[in-house]
Structure 1
Amino acid sequence: MTTASNSPKRKLSGPTTASDVFFGTFLQAGRKYLFLPVDQKALFYLVAVTLVSTFAAYYPPSEGYYLASKGNIFNRYGTKVGWFWTIITVGPFIWLSSYLHHKNHSEALRHLTRLLVATGVWYFVTHTYMHVEKLTGRCVHHESGAPSDRDQCSLAGGKWAPGIDISGHAFMLIYMTLFISEEAKSFLNWPNTPKRNINISSLKECNEFKMYTNSVQGLFLILFFFHIFWDFQLLITCLFYHDASHKLIGAGTAIVCWALTYKFWYPMAFPGLPIKRKVKAF
């Protein structure tokens, strides 16, 4: 005699499409790349900048390459406005991932404060570099007056001889990638579906969670793209721009700023470190 099972039947998922495979592959690649230990990344950047910059100083590559021009499209619309891209990509990622974890707007704002701090650090350091360069540089072959900066020098028909021109690009590119790597940790152990007995009780909320998860995954892939792009731009900077010592100072400053915030400040005080999920559940 056959008895019917009282256990509910498991609903089978739909067929896997090529786009699902493509998306999943890139998501896994992003996890492997962004979840590398940030301490090791910082050390790698310091060594890489030193070696590549020293090599370029003794064996300078041809400046005829398109990427050697500061007016190239990647530099003009990428690196020069790099912090803008950081704000509009990392900001939504922090907000959405934090809100879904805590289900609380105040907690999401608390985590978003780290972006505000990073923006302040970026602004202070880059403007300090500009001030140092202005104080140590000078205008030569000018027609009249005593121009005190590049713009005034150009208007006077002169040529600006840079002084201590610390690489703001080396600083910003490394600082952005370390910042992205730290904030991406909140995606670690992100569950594909919520545990309904914890925070999410209704089917509607469950479907909303899945929709928002897709958004977080998309933002995570965008962070992955920019991390790779900033690494590429750092290589170009090391090969073609600034003196080796100035690039090393910029790299060192970025690592110090990252360490002061994520190693000393955030573990002990507001706003705290990014979410660290030990298991795949909220």
Structure 2
Amino acid sequence: MFFNTALVFVTDLAARLLGNWLFRQHFHLLLSAVVLFGPALSLWVSPHSVFARKSHFLYRLFLRSGWGWTCIFVGSFIFLFSFSIRRSLSVSIRHLSRLAVAGGLWIGFCKLLDLLENATGSCYETLNAGLEVSNGQPLLVLREGESRSECLRARMLWRGYEVSEDVFLLCLCCLLLAEETAVFGPYLSLGGVSDAPLRILFLFCVLLLGLWIFLLFCLLAYFPQFPTQLLGGALGCLSWRALYQGWFRLGPNWFCPGRPGQGLLNPKTNTSLQEEPLNHNHHS
């Protein structure tokens, strides 16, 4: 009984926050400010912290499989939320297709960024004589004619035009989580029925959102790379705007899955739920 009461209280509180129009209107601006000013935290963090090592289990367990974790929790929430309301497998699959579209966009951008790095990069060899330049960095010698695969296979350095894929992924996942879970607050406020499994999945999504924001802070503070991280964050925000503020607003049809929550509630509820994003888009 106590667990159920605590679960209802916590999920109601989180749902009101994520469903609030101020949060939905300004979250992308807050995330942009984090990416822009986050590297300044490197002046205060300790280089001996456990988060200053890329071998930390949070990086290995979550960051390297960030899209997989996002799909598991958000996909489960979307499916259970939509299926519990409409009892229609086709409607649930249509809403799940937003994850497939976002995943395809992420994979496509990663392939393009990899091609860009290969086309603009060069191979450098680190001298083993212990020579260092004035800023303490090892002396690098350019090796011409080496491809990226050959360079990395020979344990040399490849330097090219980079965009941080980690920051790109974290920003995209944060914005996607905020969009997909924001519908739960208006649903509860309109008297929607929600059992414990749905609330637990929603809470896991909120915790995952908090974890992605924390890892984003860690990357910016302990591993600052300007402007590659700034470009990654900009690409993540651009992808979110193109999908959730652009394509998905065309309405559900054969080439568009529609917005989160669209077509799940009764007509009166559905209208009130859709007016808010439209106003948000107008102010943006």
The alignment's TM-score, normalised by the length of structure 1, stands at 0.77
Q: Is the counterpart of residue 185 in structure 1 residue 220 in structure 2?
A: no
CA distance in 2, matches of 1:33, 1:79: 25
Equivalence for 1:45: 31
Q: Is the counterpart of residue 163 in structure 1 residue 160 in structure 2?
A: yes
4+ residue runs of structure 1 moved beyond 6 angstroms? 142-145, 192-195
Q: Alpha-carbon deviation of 1:55?
A: 5.0
CA distance in 2, matches of 1:181, 1:232: 15
8 Å Cα contact 1:97/1:186 also seen in 2: no
Task: Return the letter of the residue paired with 2:154.
Answer: A
Name the Cα RMSD after superposition: 2.8
8 Å Cα contact 1:139/1:148 also seen in 2: yes
Equivalence for 1:219: 201
8 Å Cα contact 1:89/1:219 also seen in 2: yes
Equivalence for 2:48: 64
Number of corresponding residues? 245
CA distance in 2, matches of 1:51, 1:193: 38
Q: Alpha-carbon deviation of 1:61?
A: 4.0
From 226, 240, 245, give the equivalent of 1:244. Answer: 226
Secondary structure of the corresponding residue to residue 139 of structure 1: strand
CA distance in 1, matches of 2:54, 2:206: 25
CA distance in 2, matches of 1:194, 1:103: 18
Distance 1:138 1:33, change over 3 A: farther
CA distance in 1, matches of 2:191, 2:27: 32
Distance 1:23 1:226, change over 3 A: same
Deviates more, 1:100-109 or 1:175-184: 100-109
8 Å Cα contact 1:167/1:242 also seen in 2: no
CA distance in 2, matches of 1:142, 1:153: 12
CA distance in 1, matches of 2:45, 2:190: 51
CA distance in 1, matches of 2:151, 2:126: 7
CA distance in 2, matches of 1:134, 1:71: 26
Equivalence for 1:102: 86
Unaligned runs of 5+ in 1: 1-16, 196-208
Equivalence for 1:88: 72
CA distance in 2, matches of 1:138, 1:180: 37
Q: Alpha-carbon deviation of 1:86?
A: 1.0
Distance 1:104 1:51, change over 3 A: same
Unaligned runs of 5+ in 2: 128-142, 271-284
State the structure with more CA Rg.
1
Q: Alpha-carbon deviation of 1:25?
A: 3.3
8 Å Cα contact 1:142/1:157 also seen in 2: no
From 246, 262, 266, give the equivalent of 2:244. Answer: 262
The alignment's TM-score, normalised by the length of structure 2, stands at 0.77
Q: Alpha-carbon deviation of 1:33?
A: 4.0
Task: Return the letter of the residue paired with 2:73.
Answer: T
CA distance in 2, matches of 1:75, 1:43: 25
Percent identity for Structure 1 against Structure 2: 24
Alignment of 1:19-38 (within 5 A): 19-36=3-20, 37-38=23-24
8 Å Cα contact 2:151/2:158 also seen in 1: no
CA distance in 1, matches of 2:38, 2:189: 41
